Amino acid sequence: MLSIRELLVLAVIIFVVWYGYRVYARIDSARTRRAADQARRSANKKPELDLVRCPQCGAYISDPNIHVCDPDGPAR
């Protein structure tokens, strides 16, 4: 049979485990929320432009179809 002291120790152990789980769950949900925020933010971000080098003048351009070559070339 358990004594009062053993029951008290058991109650403290159960409380500590329960409290630790609560703290862990809070940290984990905050981390999940932060990751979801970051994913949403990066999804809303404009796509990065791929720059290509113009073979004629050497300028880095995003769209070769709208590029007009500068006869002096890009500033170096």
Residue choice 29, 38, 56, 62 for contact with Zn ion (CB under 5 A): 56
Please choose, out of 5-13, 22-30, 35-43, 51-59, the segment that lies near Zn ion by the rule CB under 5 A. 51-59
Helix (H), strand (E), coil (C) string for 9-65? HHHHHHHHHHHHHHHHHHHHHHHHHHHHHHHHHHHHCCCCCCCEECCCCCCEECCHH
Using CB under 5 A, count the residues that bind Zn ion.
Answer: 5
Please choose, out of 4-12, 16-24, 28-36, 52-60, the segment that lies near Zn ion by the rule CB under 5 A. 52-60
Query: Contacts with Zn ion in 14-43 (CB under 5 A)?
Result: none
